[in-house]
Structure formats: C-alpha cells, structure tokens
C-alpha cells in the first residue's frame, strides 16, 4: 500500500504540465487563468512534497510499480535523496513562479513564460522522482530542452542565443553519456529499476563488479560534469544573464544541481569504480578553484553570482568525488536556497551598494593579523568539532573538507580585521564564524544521520585519493591568500594585467565559441 501511495507524487508534475498546456491557450499579457493555475499547482506541489517526506520518514525508502508497458513507463522512488530534492525543487519553484507574476507583469508573452517555467519544473520533478532508468533518461533530456526554451525567451538578444546554443551542444553530449550509462547499467545489473540497481551494487565491492560497470560510471561522471558546467565546458553558464531573472534563479538554484544529484543518486554504483570518483574530484576541484579566482575579478553582480555557481558546483562535485555524498546533498540544498535568494534580490543589492560611499583603498593586510585570524578559525573549528565528538580518526575526506572550511573562516575574519578595524565588527564577525562552524557540524551530522539508510558512508581513500585531497587543500589555501591580497593589489600593474586575463576566464570560452560557431544552428535557437 505505501508503494501505491508514492504514486501520488506524480500528481505534482501532472499539475505543472497541465498549467504549461493551459498557457498555450493564454500565452499573452496578464493571463489570469495561467497565473491562478500556476499558483495553485506550485502550492499543491509543495504540499505533496511534504507529504512524500512524511510518508518516507514513517515507511522508509520505497518504490512504486511502473505505470506503462512492462518496465517502460513512470514510477516513483522515494527515499532521502529524492524527497530532499522534491522539497527543494517544489519550494524554489513556488518562489520563482510567484516572483515571475510581478517580474513579467505587462510582458506581451507573460503566459508563455509562466508555462515554460511550469514545464521545466515538471521535467525536473520527473527526474528527481524517477524510479526507473527509462524515466530518468527521458526526464534528463526533457529538462534540458525545456530550459533551452526559457534561455531563448528573448530571441532578439544575440548573447542569449549564443549562450543557449553552447548549452544546447553541451547538453546533447551529456544526454548521450547518460543514455549510454543507463544502457550499460541495465545490462550489467539485469534491471532498469533504480532501487534494484542500487541494492545489487550495495552488495558488491570494487573489483568484483559486473562487466561494464566501470564504463557506466565513467559515463555517469561525464554526464554530471557536462550538466553542471564544469571546466572546460563551463562558458555558457556565466553568459546566460541575458535571460529573465527568474530563469537565472531557477537555473542556478535548481537545474544546475542535476549533475550532482545524478552522482548522489547512483552513489552505491559509483563506489564500484574509484577512477570515476577520482575524475569527478579532479575536474570538480579544479573548476572550483578556477571559478573562485575568476569570480574575484568580476564587476557585475550577476556575473559574479554565475561564476560563484561554477565554483560551487565544482566544490560539490569534489565532495562527491571524495565520497562525501551526504555532505554534497546538504551542499545542494544550502547553495540552492542561497542562490535563489541572491538572484531574486540582485536588483536591491545594486540599489543598496549605490547608497554606500567608497571609503578608499583598503589597507595592506598585516601578517600578524592574518595569522591570528587563521589561528582563531582553527580554534573555532576545534571547539565545534570537540562539541560534536569529531576526532582525528574521522575519514580523511571529512578532515580535508574541514581544512577548507578553516581557510574560508580565516579569510572572513582577516578581511574584517584589516586596516583600522572596528573592534565591535571583528567581534561580531568572529561570533558569526563560530555560529557558522557549529551550524556546519550540526547540519553535517544531521544530513549523515538522515541519509544513512540511503547513502553509503564515507570510506578511507586510496593513495591517489589522498593525493587529490592534499592537492585540493593546498590549492584552496592559495585561493584564500589571493582573497586576502586581491583588494589591496588593485593598483599593481602585474595584478591589473592578470586581472584582465582572469576576468575573461583565461579565454577558454573563446575557443568554445569558435567551435560552436562552426556548427549548424539548432532550429529551436533561431530568432
């Protein structure tokens, strides 16, 4: 009976799809039927997500029967991963659709835009709730195609068309990788049911996996990296700022997480092929560093947020590559909520910044204060770790991620203590850093406990994994130093020259532009 109840989750994408179909009849300005239906559909979707979470908490993970022909059709997999994503997508969708009611008020194609949002949300929900590989692959492709329509909503903007075109090419390669991985996994494990695949993978260990699993995991890794705008195919993401703000919020807070969700969804399978995890960790870690440095050079708030998303997705995939799947899932939730708020409030941030007069160039950092800030961050981390019972015997991945957290806190405190620092401000920053550290350990412990029935625990890494962790920690230390020094180097000729190259992403995207420009245009991208 609970497995049949899980099918009620499909009502959510059905309502959103109905709203999208209704928008075909009312595509114009202030379409009251579409506006009312979209509000009711998104609100109902959030209620269904809450009900699914409660049902899963009471009954445990479950899978519904397939509605279709044989093993081909729709089915629902409810567990911690899918319910978390169901709640997240529903909440962000409700906020973005409501925001769009006012943002596009008076637009000649407001109804079509709301319908496109609902269609995209329906595809994302079918993806995160997928109980079989057929549905997963179909929803993955549908999500990309629905998003493409939103990216080219303003077809008279050449920059938007170019970015959407690059996204289209990248997405099609990712689609091929995912479809290929589904075929390989279905053959290797003898089933298209996701729960069965995960259960069978959980009983195996690396080295004795069925033939072809390593190929399947490599394809999953490639699909995830392409979906999450990882280096060197990252260039389209910072360039989609020509789209309406609600699309940016939905993309950066929701759809871009699909790559991480895919790796987390198949965590048990990914552990059977450590080289695949190493690939994700290396590419994700490098993208995180690259995006973080480029973000420091951006002068546009939206461009800075876009590069922040590139870096955050890289860091989240680094967590996946290190085997910290529960922490990566928590990262998805935290980043999505933050980024949705950041994009939807970006206009007010600009207004507020104009009201603040610049106070001149910041003073050079003092070595003693920087070291004191780092020591304070170490003490905060150690105190919070002791409070939550964390010791040196924890998995190496957790300690490596903790070291990166310490560097972030150290930079935050050091920046507040530069120049003629306000003593009360420094105290408030240190208190906030302490609260963030406690929240980090508390949320991490909670996420690990909640996902213990679904996601595998962190394992000790092999020598290659240890080398990757060490390289990641050292690299993030360099970025931390740059964050402290960059504000006071604005007049240095060498930094100014480097800044120009970094602001342009070291021109990697220019090569991608040439490649894409040589390809024929897809019909959906023509103005």
Q: What's the mean pLDDT when you consider all of the chain?
A: 83
76 φ, ψ (degrees, to nearest 5): -120, 135
Dump pLDDT digits (tens) for 78-110. 999 999 999 999 999 999 999 888 888 878 888
Residue 74 has pLDDT above 70, yes or no: yes
Cβ burial, residue 348 (10 Å; 0-12/13-18/19+) = exposed
Confidence grade of residue 154 (pLDDT, cut at 50, 70, 90): confident
What are the residues facing 125 on neighbouring strands? none
Supply the pLDDT for residue 422. Answer: 65
pLDDT reported for residue 478: 79
Alpha carbons 513 and 526: distance in angstroms, whole number: 17
β-pairing, 62-63 vs 72-74, is unpaired
Global pTM reads 0.88
Q: Comparing 303 with 208, which gets the higher pLDDT?
A: 303
Question: Using one digit for the tens of pLDDT, what is the confidence trace for 160-219?
Answer: 777 788 888 889 999 999 999 999 999 999 899 999 999 998 888 655 767 788 899 999
Q: Find the length of the chain.
A: 527
Mean pLDDT, rounded, for 153-160:
75
Reference 53, options 77, 83, 76; nearest CA is: 83
**Element at 62 (helix H, strand E):** strand 62-63
What are the tens digits of pLDDT across the range 440-482? 888 888 888 888 888 888 877 778 888 888 888 888 787 777 7
The predicted structure's pLDDT at residue 470: 83
Q: Alpha-carbon distance 241 to 463, whole Å?
A: 41
| Residue 244 DSSP SS3 | coil
Alpha helices in 129-157 (DSSP H): 133-151
How confident is the model at residue 526, as a pLDDT? 42
For 103-123, what is each residue's pLDDT tens digit?
888 788 889 999 999 999 999
Largest CA distance in the chain: 71
DSSP reduced 3-state for 419? coil
Structure tokens at 144: 């990309």
Q: Which two tokens stand for residue 89?
A: 């997508």
190: left (phi over 0), alpha (psi -120 to 50) or beta: left
pLDDT in tens, 246-271: 888 888 878 889 999 999 999 999 99
The residue among 463 and 348 whose pLDDT is bigger is: 463
Please give the C-alpha separations between residue 357 and each of 282, 354, 416, 505, in angstroms, as whole numbers: 42, 7, 18, 30
Are 315 and 397 in contact by the 8 Å Cβ rule? The answer is no
Residue 323 Ramachandran class (φ > 0 left, ψ -120 to 50 alpha, else beta): left
pLDDT band at 148 (very low <50, low <70, confident <90, very high): confident
Query: What pLDDT score does 254 carry?
Result: 80
């Amino acid at each position: 009976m609970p497995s049949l109840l899980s099918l009620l989750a499909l009502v959510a994408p059905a309502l959103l799809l109905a709203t999208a179909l209704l928008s075909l009849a009312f595509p114009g300005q202030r379409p009251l039927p579409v506006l009312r239906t979209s509000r009711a559909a998104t609100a109902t979707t959030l209620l269904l997500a809450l009900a699914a979470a409660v049902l899963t908490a009471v009954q445990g993970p479950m899978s519904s029967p397939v509605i279709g022909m044989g093993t081909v059709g729709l089915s629902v997999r409810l567990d911690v991963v899918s319910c978390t994503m169901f709640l997240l997508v529903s909440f962000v969708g409700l906020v973005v659709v409501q925001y769009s009611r006012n943002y596009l008020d008076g637009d000649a194609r407001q109804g079509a835009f709301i319908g496109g949002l609902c269609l995209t949300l329906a595809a994302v929900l079918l993806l995160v709730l997928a109980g079989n590989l057929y549905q997963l692959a179909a929803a993955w492709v549908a999500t990309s195609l629905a998003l493409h329509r939103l990216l080219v909503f303003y077809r008279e903007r050449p920059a938007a068309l170019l970015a959407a075109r690059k996204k289209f090419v990248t997405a099609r390669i990712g689609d091929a990788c995912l479809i290929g991985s589904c075929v390989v996994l279905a053959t290797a494990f003898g089933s298209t049911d996701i729960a069965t695949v995960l259960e069978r993978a959980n009983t195996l260990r690396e080295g004795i996996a069925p033939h072809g699993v390593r190929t399947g995991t490599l394809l999953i890794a490639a699909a995830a990296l392409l979906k999450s705008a990882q280096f060197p195919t990252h260039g389209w993401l910072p360039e989609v700022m020509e789209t309406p703000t609600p699309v940016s919020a939905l993309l950066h807070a929701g759809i871009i997480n699909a790559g991480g969700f895919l790796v987390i969804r198949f965590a048990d399978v990914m552990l059977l092929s450590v080289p695949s995890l190493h690939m994700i960790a290396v590419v994700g870690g490098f993208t995180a560093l690259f995006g973080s440095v480029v973000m420091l050079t951006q002068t546009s708030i939206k461009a800075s947020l876009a590069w922040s998303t590139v870096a955050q997705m890289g860091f989240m995939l680094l967590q996946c590559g290190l085997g910290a799947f529960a922490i990566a899932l928590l990262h998805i939730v935290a980043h999505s909520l933050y980024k949705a708020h950041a994009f939807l409030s970006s206009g007010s941030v600009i207004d507020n910044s104009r009201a603040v007069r610049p106070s001149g160039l910041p003073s050079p950092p003092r070595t003693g204060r920087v070291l004191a800030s780092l020591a304070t961050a170490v003490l905060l981390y150690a105190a919070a770790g002791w409070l939550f019972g964390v010791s040196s015997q924890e998995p190496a991945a957790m300690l490596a991620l903790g070291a990166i957290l310490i560097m972030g806190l150290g930079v935050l405190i050091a920046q507040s203590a530069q120049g003629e620092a306000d003593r009360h401000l420094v105290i408030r920053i240190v208190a906030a850093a302490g609260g963030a550290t406690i929240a980090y350990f508390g949320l991490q412990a909670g996420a690990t406990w909640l996902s213990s029935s679904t996601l595998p625990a962190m394992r000790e890494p092999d020598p290659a994994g240890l080398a990757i962790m060490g390289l990641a920690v050292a690299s993030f230390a360099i970025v931390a130093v740059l964050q402290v020094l960059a504000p006071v180097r604005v007049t240095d000729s060498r930094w100014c020259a480097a800044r120009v190259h970094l602001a342009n992403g070291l021109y990697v995207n220019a090569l991608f532009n040439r490649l894409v420009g040589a390809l024929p245009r897809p019909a959906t991208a023509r103005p």
